[in-house]
Amino acid sequence: MNDVATALVTGGDVLVDTLIEHGVDTTFTVSGESFLAVLEALRRARNQIRLITTRHEGGGAFAAEAYGKLSGQPAALFVSRGPGATNAAIGVHTAKQDSTPMLLFIGHVRSTSQGREAFQEIDQAAMFAPVAKAVLQPNNSEQIAAVTARAIALATAGRPGPVVVILPRDLTDGPVRDTTIPSFRPRARVAPDPTTLAEAAAMIQRAERPLIIAGEMVSFDDAHYALAKFAEAAGAAVMTAYRRQDCFPNDHPAYAGHLEINRLPYQRQALADADLMIAVGSRMDGITSEDGALPHAHQPLIQIYPDGDVLANCQPYLSILSDAKDACLNLAGRLRPGSTAWRDGLNEAHGQSIKPGAVNVHGAVDLARISASLHELAPAGTIILTDGGSFARWVHRYHSFTAPRTQAGPASGAMGYGVPGAIGARLAVPGLPAIAFVGDGGFMMTGQELVTAVEQNIDLVVVVCDNGVHGSILEGQRQRFGPDHAYGTELTSPDFAALARAYGCAAWTVERTADFDTALRGALAHSGPALIHLLTDDRDIAPFDRGPDAV
């Protein structure tokens, strides 16, 4: 019987063959008995497609999200029904809000058992429909290849996002007679309308204080050079959307800073003074747009985006349905250079704002100085990841991102992203180091994925910013109720350096700013994963005068 079973081509076989044919080379999993045929197909194809076993489905989902964000191509995550699927949901939500291509395959109950509340059964389609780009399910084994190919195409089409595929066990176990794999078709480009471009160029040419907001589609479309050409031709200042600082070189004379949760005074003034806003590849997410407060009533908005639903949702003054690169290059060719005085002033203000020392630090560790020195200590092109948490704002403010695709972090603010995200980053861009900054709270959610990095011998550096509290929530309690009203926000954590060593990592503990450089150099030189336990003060929540109002 085993020989006969081995000779059969199963739904799992054609699924894996389709992934390979369509360029998917990396998969993650927490294995489950509901997709054994897929695991066997992956084993046989292990020289063509790699499988990384994570310790939690949420970790696998975060790793897959970071891989897709930095490579522009989806990775696949395989999980089992019910508990496995619900654990993975946090990464699906993250990928949706970040416009990241990702594939989630869920091994489900047999098709004959669906709808009967079988063991671990949930309604996967109803659960994932609000947070995924699409939810698909083949009706029989013969449809698996076509559904898989469609899922891959959908994940990168228009606005990228996560696609969920539900796989009843009897379908992946079942035989497939027609083993033809659908041909790969590259993502269709979305080209701008010339008439709309002409109208946009006229508006930009008339503007005296144009402000570009650069977002996620700039990176996905590799439009960094095109955006720079457009900004230079328009004489515009450029601010990057939330957690999208690598969309535009931070050392460019047009750069005016990052739209963090907290806005610096010069940024608030610029956002009020701009007489034209141009959102390039940004969906104008809640933090970037201040929950829809931007643009202000007196500011027309031109929005360039390859998805009509996003444009309809934002309702800009002028919509340009287009990929970022094509629109930017076309607009740059239509513009005559004008005055850059306004943008130059903003760039100077930005330069002053990123100098450490402006914010009073209470503890012995100054995250401003540490963040500012990263570009001197780390190799060029190092990928910097920031987990959800207020400590990330120090990195966002003081570290300069000068190369494309060197930043990853959850726009959704999901905690636990950092460690598995660093694994995904190193697999997506194996030639570049990755340094993940994570809080003590976030590390305790997914820090066990360091074992995955040890097992796979993946070089990465994790910096645990340990202040013993859920910082942004604590600060909100202090501001609203008083300094003595902390409740539910104080944490007792282990010795993170000792824990890392127990996992098999190298580790350092840093209690003073001056000791960080030595620790980071040692961590970067180490072969394998390394951790730096950074002890910070809970009074140094964020590098802004006003307290944080969101995570």
Peptide bond into 306 cis (omega under 30): no
So what's the pLDDT on residue 468?
Answer: 76
So what's the architecture of 194-352 in CATH? 3-Layer(aba) Sandwich (3.40)
How many residues belong to the chain?
551
CA distance 426 to 458: 7
**What are the distances in angstroms from CA 459 to CA 61, 402, 434, 524, 526?**
20, 22, 8, 8, 8
Phi-psi region of 132 (alpha: psi -120 to 50; beta: other; left: phi over 0): beta
Q: Does the predicted TM-score (pTM) go above 0.85?
A: yes
So what's the pLDDT on residue 401?
Answer: 97
Distance of CA 447 to the CA centre of its chain: 18
- Residue 528 identity (one-letter amino acid): G
pLDDT along the chain (551 residues), means of 10: 61 98 98 95 98 98 98 98 94 98 92 70 87 97 98 98 97 96 96 98 98 98 98 98 98 98 96 98 97 95 98 97 98 94 98 93 96 92 96 96 97 96 98 96 96 97 89 82 83 94 98 97 97 94 61 36
Q: Is 516 helix (H, G, I), strand (E, B) or coil?
A: helix
So what's the pLDDT on residue 484?
Answer: 84
Asked if 524 and 461 touch (Cβ cutoff 8 Å), the reply is: yes
Peptide bond into 295 cis (omega under 30): yes
Asked if 395 and 368 touch (Cβ cutoff 8 Å), the reply is: no
So what's the pLDDT on residue 478?
Answer: 84
Distance of CA 72 to the CA centre of its chain: 11
So what's the architecture of 2-173 in CATH? 3-Layer(aba) Sandwich (3.40)
So what's the pLDDT on residue 467?
Answer: 86
All CATH 3.40.50.970 domain ranges in the chain, comma separated? 2-173, 360-535
Two tokens, residue 496: 């993170």
So what's the pLDDT on residue 113?
Answer: 65
CA distance 300 to 282: 16
Alpha helix positions (H), 402-515: 418-428, 440-446, 450-456, 471-481, 496-503
Q: Is 238 helix (H, G, I), strand (E, B) or coil?
A: strand
All CATH 3.40.50.1220 domain ranges in the chain, comma separated? 194-352
So what's the pLDDT on residue 142?
Answer: 97
Give me the CATH code for the 360-535 domain, please: 3.40.50.970
